Structure 1
């Protein structure tokens, strides 16, 4: 998480070169420190994944920077519990209805943007009753959300983007530039679902096409970053996937720094 937030340039997102008005680099760094005990519990598999995600949100709620790492927690908890992507898939397959309920409690503690038409409203207390009545596990919830949310989609498709991005990191000859380069590759090939929820698919596709122009050398990364900041376009879901990819690459021997 520290490596991701400090990587620059990373168009549209907080990094060591710029903040957002209400969320600064320090908030992200504080979040990484606050959540460490929960990650250690995940490594010991001391609780279910849903409980661990809720504990992570609670542990990081004392800073005033809003949601900093919720999506990252969703990806990291199964990865840390399982040790790697195959292990995470096994952990995901064992999630329970209680995990789903704990996750919804965690979701309700955040200010994460949701789709207005979602049937299971995280801010509706009756949603947990619906989850229980339907017997929905946390994996079932991710299947339910996967069409609209790329972080949930990683749970369903075997961490496809995480794997692809980790491979980019592992193949890089320049460790310092590897993270922003891998992030830009994601931005140029995928519509960020956080941007979709905030602005719609047209804006997400515009962002993707502009990032592709940067990859082709037709636009500077600095100009894309400036446009994202002006338009308040922040590809937060891709940042979460980048964090999961960094964790995966480090576990496979990638050396940073």
Structure 2
């Protein structure tokens, strides 16, 4: 017999995997890897495997949050690390979903508690996610650092003036000063989109991405086209922080302008936009 929190776990796990599968499968979506484009060591199939693998961990986060009476001991950071470990266990194409794990973990934990309230108010979900993040501790920070260090090549990390992941002293500083993930992400919110989401209570997702996606789907747009155009819509407003780190801000802003231009032509369902 299923308990309410196990039903919540199943729901959130399936949602997480489905969201990741749909995102990587959306075509033609600009990006490094998609249905018709692989890298020498990383393929579309690696992303499919990673998408499925992370679901169970997101379900566990939701279940733990569901049974907690308050917002502490959710295990947010451990959830990120567990997701990365699962992803690497089920595929050998390198880092496929670190960014997704960092974004999905607070959402999944928040969704667990939101599901318990039986609320369908999306603003309430966002408020709960904010409280989950605010309740995270220095232990969560350390787990997140472990996850990033395992998943990300050092060449893609960049350098930080304070609490740099590649600086071995950072972990001791986090412990001694009780530095939370929220405090760490405050330091990088202006140069990294994931940090920005944590600090702003997922501003881009709730104020830009979700309303646009919902509107396109309500208009009868196919799931595939709605996802691609939502990606372009977000990209047209916020330049890709990974591109900025690897190729410079000017290149990232150039790509954002191109995304805006494609949408102005009618998006991917238009002949001109599809080109």
Band of TM-score, shorter chain: 0.7 to 0.9
Equivalent position of 2:222 in the other structure: 175
Distance (whole Å) between structure 1 residues aligned to residue 62 and residue 32 of structure 2: 29
Equivalent position of 1:15 in the other structure: 34
8 Å contact 2:163–2:170 — kept in the other structure?
yes
User: What 5-or-longer segments of structure 1 have no aligned partner?
Assistant: 224-257
8 Å contact 1:146–1:153 — kept in the other structure?
yes
Distance (whole Å) between structure 2 residues aligned to residue 221 and residue 132 of structure 1: 50
- The structure having more radius of gyration, on CA atoms, is 2
1:152 pairs, out of 165, 176, 195, with 195
Equivalent position of 1:60 in the other structure: 87
Deviation string for 1:72-98 (max 9, x for gaps)? 111111111111322211100100011
2:141 pairs, out of 100, 124, 144, with 100
Distance (whole Å) between structure 1 residues aligned to residue 274 and residue 248 of structure 2: 24
Distance (whole Å) between structure 2 residues aligned to residue 85 and residue 198 of structure 1: 31
User: What 5-or-longer segments of structure 2 have no aligned partner?
Assistant: 1-19, 66-73, 112-124
Distance (whole Å) between structure 2 residues aligned to residue 5 and residue 114 of structure 1: 22
| Deviation for aligned residue 1:220 | 4.7
RMSD: 1.9
Query: Greater relative contact order: 1 or 2 (C-alpha under 8 angstroms, separation 6 or more)?
Result: 1
Equivalent position of 1:246 in the other structure: none
1:215 pairs, out of 246, 252, 263, with 263
8 Å contact 2:229–2:263 — kept in the other structure?
no
Equivalent position of 2:234 in the other structure: 186
What is the number of equivalent residue pairs in this alignment?
223
8 Å contact 1:11–1:221 — kept in the other structure?
no
Runs of 4+ in 1 over 4 A off after TM superposition: 218-223
